[in-house]
Structure 1
Amino acid sequence: MSAADDRPLASAPPSVPGEPVRVRAMKWLGQPHWAFDGVWLGADAHGDWVGFPAGTPFARPGHGFTATWESVSLFPRAGWAAAFNAGHPRGLGIYVDLSTVPEWRADASGATVSYIDLDLDVVERTGAPAFIDDEDEFAEHAVEFEYPAEVVERVRADADAVLRAVRRREAPFDGATAAGWLARLAERSPVE
């Protein structure tokens, strides 16, 4: 083990656009959920943006797929993580996971952003109003995994606030914000 391997984990995203990023979503008790790789695009007032070109594999225990569309994800300093899709085959434009605040870590293998998925999602599809999904799963898991009351209250409040922001087209859900980051992703040459 070298001295570099003894470094403490950093809690900041990459600083150079194009650097690889590993995304890890877990469930409440640390069970693996989704894992996938992208490239850091940059940051703005809303948070850190990671891009996923078409051909990106997404995997979770027992399920996986390879995206045929491009997407960017926003990892804010708040209790959610949002995906914005371009050309999704089922019209999925915005998908927001309600979660713990995304945390950045870096070590010799690169940067990772991770969060605990707390079940509720705000979803918007082409031609349909945004809605909150997985209410039943959230209610079941709150009991089964004994989510603390303050977590339940915060997640519920965050879901309502994000839903309002999506419906009102407030940035970063205004369309233009994500379009700018999708354009940055499109300008990048394919990751080898």
Structure 2
Amino acid sequence: MSFPTTGSSIQIQSYKHNGQLHRVWEETVILRGTSSVVIGGNDRIIVTESDGRQWRTREPAICYFNSEQWFNVIGMLREQGIHYYCNLGTPFTYDGEALKYIDYDLDVKVFPDMTYTILDEDEFALHKIEMNYPKEINDILRRSLDELCSMINQRKGPFEPEFIENWYERFLEYR
């Protein structure tokens, strides 16, 4: 698998299980790009939804993708502290055009005090039936949700103290 080079600017594209494009984030700057980990930064970028609607992010964010984990993490730097938004989905791929993954609906919102809420379980249940998610996918996602919650509780990976701040400092060097 190829991987994006440090300092390059790429798109991030999420898809649904049925192959339909779900969302596109423009202009994420690659801070670290390897075959196993991609860390990117962006600030007030345009996001395009599958129906064509567009909106702009409100704050700087650091994005963390791992090729072996069925989730990705976005750390948003807000005045009240770092808020995280975690998407359960396939490990990323990169094809030279964009970093891509399949979004499987379940999300985890993490607050600055490291408490969290699991979101969109109803959407996951509906899409599991509508798009006929295989049992293996359901099992992987449940294990991945447990792994993600454990990382949050233990403050590991992108949830380590100062992880987001340190990568944000690097992001500022590219602006």
Q: TM-score, normalised by structure 1?
A: 0.81
Percent identity, aligned pairs only, is: 24
Larger radius of gyration: 1
Aligned Cα root-mean-square deviation (Å): 2.1
Greater mean alpha carbon deviation, residues 140-149 or residues 58-67: 58-67
Asked if the contact 2:4–2:33 (Cα under 8 Å) also holds between the matched residues in 1, the reply is no
Asked if the contact 1:48–1:76 (Cα under 8 Å) also holds between the matched residues in 2, the reply is yes
Is 1:81 paired with 2:72? yes
Where in structure 1 are there 5+ consecutive unaligned residues?
1-10
User: Which residue of 9, 16, 32 corresponds with 1:20?
Assistant: 9
Instruction: Report the secondary structure of 1:154's partner residue.
Output: helix
Counterpart in the other structure of 1:65: 55
Greater mean alpha carbon deviation, residues 123-132 or residues 77-86: 123-132
Counterpart in the other structure of 2:121: 135
Q: Cα distance, 1:167 vs. partner?
A: 2.1
Asked if the contact 2:77–2:83 (Cα under 8 Å) also holds between the matched residues in 1, the reply is yes
Asked if the contact 1:21–1:50 (Cα under 8 Å) also holds between the matched residues in 2, the reply is no
Q: Cα distance, 1:52 vs. partner?
A: 0.6
Counterpart in the other structure of 1:8: none
Partner deviation per Cα, 1:74-122 (whole Å, 9 max, x = no partner): 1101211110111178x7711111101110111xxxx410000001111
Partner deviation per Cα, 1:120-175 (whole Å, 9 max, x = no partner): 11111235711221111111111111100010010011012101211221122113
Cα distance, 1:88–1:141 mapped onto 2, change above 3 Å: farther
Asked if the contact 2:14–2:103 (Cα under 8 Å) also holds between the matched residues in 1, the reply is yes
- Quote the Cα distance in structure 2 between the aligned partners of 1:177 and 1:52: 16
Q: Cα distance, 1:32 vs. partner?
A: 1.4
Where in structure 2 are there 5+ consecutive unaligned residues?
none
Q: TM-score, normalised by structure 2?
A: 0.89
Greater mean alpha carbon deviation, residues 31-40 or residues 124-133: 124-133
Aligned length: 172
Instruction: Report the secondary structure of 1:158's partner residue.
Output: helix
- 4+ residue runs of structure 1 moved beyond 3 angstroms? 43-46
